[in-house]
A and B are shown apart, each in its own frame.
Chain A
Amino acid sequence: MSGRILPFGPSLATQAEPLPPPGGGGRGDATDRALTAADQERFRRLVLPHMDAAYSFARYLSRDASLAEDLVQDAFLRAFKGFAGFRGGDPKAWLFAIVRSSHLTWARSRGATLQAVPDEFEDTPAEGDTPEEALLRQGEVETVRGAIEALPEPFRETLVLRELEEMSYREIAEITQAPIGTVMSRLARARAMLLAALGAEAQETKP
């Protein structure tokens, strides 16, 4: 964890919510079983490739580079530990549900402990901002990212899962634990808000 100070310990895993049911089945009864070499190989093949997507999702959820890094690391640790209980289904949706739950856990722990360590937290250096970020913060990319990040949370989350990750309404409903109808209306609201924001932006920047 590269020495950053967060309001929770080095890993959220101990206080985190139980893992989401793998593949829609029941709670993984084998969750505590040690991973076999074959499990580990499956993890590398099925879960690891979603690292960029998981980071992007965490980044849009948290709107903070170093926090997103911590959330993804925590989620992968939990996914790795719980992978013995993963019995199929879509590994990406499973991983995203864990990322989301890590974020919720963080948000709650922050609500509970922020008063105790506000200064340390505010001073946390945004380590992830240096290489990948400084560069892309320009022009169109910055405009669109900024507009997405300005959306209120449930709309932002739904929009990112649909537009960036191309998940189906059903997958989004499972990850966000909302009825499909809610997913649809959030998506429509999110797009309307973005069109309003980006439409205005485009007109302002026209020569």
Chain B
Amino acid sequence: MSACPDKELLLHGLLDGELDAANVQAVEGHLKTCPGCAEAYRDLQALHARIAAPGIAYAAPESLRARLEAMAAPTPARPARIRTAAPWALSGVFAALAASLAVMVVQPTTLALQDQLVASHVRSTLAQHLVDVETSDRHTVKPWFNGKIDFAPPVVDLADQGFPLVGGRLDYLDNRVVAAEVFRRNKHVINLFVWPAKTSLLPAREAAPPAGYSVVHWRQGSLQFWAVSDVDPRDLEAFHQAFAKATHS
């Protein structure tokens, strides 16, 4: 059974909201009496639902987003985050220079990274893209990361401590693909970003994250961990302790 040939384009027009009132009425009337057209129309509706489902459209990669936002940023672009370097050049105290350099060089990366972390966290909760593999079973999440990234993040379910594992996701931060493990604390989401630590780039101290978000950072072995959430900072620290304890054994 198939649609009447002379009605085919009208069915598409009806589906797409492109018909005027008179034609809408005419086609809808026809659908009631013609099983072939009715079936064809249902097929079109079902097809539309499958294509318009979340995840079929692509989202711009982070690297592209960052470049385009920088391109359109107000000029002068973002104010430099290193306050002032001038006094160094004038003074002859090279030891002080070397010491302060270590902090000054590290800080901008850390700040930018912290912004990236919170942005990734927020996006993950907004964009229906919280997890790519959804399960509370760490034995599912762990192998899922295998082959997608070149390191093996430890995965644990901390449901006993009030932080159930939701799943895992890949994300893009600090110019590389990182693992994101997703946990819940009551109604809140905790994103735990994991990737290999670079040699001793540990920030001397943390700048405050954007209002309403907490960031906890630690290292275990050769990996660095960044937990990001809008939960109470004490909860996030408790999460850190629970995770470190569970993965250290």
Q: Report A's interface with B, CB cutoff 8 A.
A: 2, 37, 40-41, 43-44, 47-48, 51-56, 59-60, 65, 68-69, 72-73, 76-77, 80, 127-128, 130-132, 134-136, 138, 140-141, 144-145, 148, 159, 162-164, 168-169, 184-185, 187-188, 191, 194-195, 198
A163 and B52 in contact, given A51-B68, A130-B172, A184-B9 (Cβ under 8 angstroms): yes
Return 7 A-B CB contacts under 8 Å, by A number.
Answer: A41-B74, A47-B72, A52-B57, A59-B58, A135-B170, A136-B55, A163-B52
Taken together as a complex, chains A and B put the C-alpha atoms of A56 and B9 apart, in Å, by 27
Cβ A43 vs Cβ B169 within 8 A: no
Check if A69 sits within 8 Å of B61, measured CB to CB.
yes
Chain B residues positioned under 8 Å from A60 (CB to CB): 58
State the CA gap A131–B60 with chains docked (Å).
11
Q: How far is the CA of A196 from the CA of B125 in the complex (A)?
A: 36
User: In whole angstroms, what is the CA distance A73 to B66 when docked?
Assistant: 11
CA distance A76 to B72 in the complex (A): 9
Question: Chain B's nearest CB lies how many Å from the CB of A65?
Answer: 8
- Identify the closest chain A residue to B59 (Cβ): A52
| B47–A56 CB distance below 8 A | no
Whether A194 and B47, one on each chain, are in contact in the complex, defined by CB atoms closer than 8 angstroms, is yes
Are B61 and A131 in contact (CB-based, < 8 A)?
Answer: yes
Say yes or no: B72 contacts A188, CB within 8 Å. Answer: no
Closest to B43 in A: A195
B residues with a Cβ closer than 8 A to A are: 8-9, 12-13, 16, 18, 43-44, 47-48, 50-53, 55-65, 67-69, 71-72, 74-75, 132, 148, 169-172, 177
- The answer to whether B71 touches A80, judged by C-beta atoms less than 8 angstroms apart, is yes
Distance between Cα atoms of A187 and B13 in the complex (Å): 10
Cα of A40 to Cα of B13 in the assembled complex, Å: 38
Shortest beta-carbon distance, B64 to chain A, in Å? 5
Q: Are A148 and B18 in contact (CB-based, < 8 A)?
A: no
Known: A51-B64, A187-B12. 5 other contacts (CB 8 A): A127-B63, A141-B56, A148-B56, A191-B44, A195-B43
Residues of B within 8 A of A80 (CB): 71-72
Label chain A's interface by main secondary structure. helix
User: A144, B172: Cβ atoms under 8 Å?
Assistant: no
Contacting pair B71 A191 (CB below 8 A): no
- CB pair A144–B51 under 8 Å, yes or no, is yes
**B60 in contact with A163 (CB, 8 Å):** no
CB pair A48–B170 under 8 Å, yes or no, is: no
Q: Which residue of A lies closest to B15 (CB)?
A: A191
Query: In the complex, A132 Cα to B55 Cα: how many Å?
Result: 11
Q: Report whether A162 and B53 are in contact in the complex, using a CB–CB cutoff of 8 Å.
A: no
A130, B132: Cα distance in complex, Å: 13
Please judge, given known A-B contacts A188-B12, A195-B43, whether A144 and B62 are in contact too, CB under 8 Å.
no
Residues of A within 8 A of B71 (CB): 76-77, 80
Interchain residue pairs A-B with the least CB separation, the first 8: A135-B132, A55-B60, A131-B172, A56-B58, A56-B57, A163-B51, A59-B58, A141-B55
Closest A residue to B8 using CB positions? A188
CA distance A127 to B61 in the complex (A): 10
Q: Which residue of B lies closest to A69 (CB)?
A: B64
B72 in contact with A140 (CB, 8 Å): no
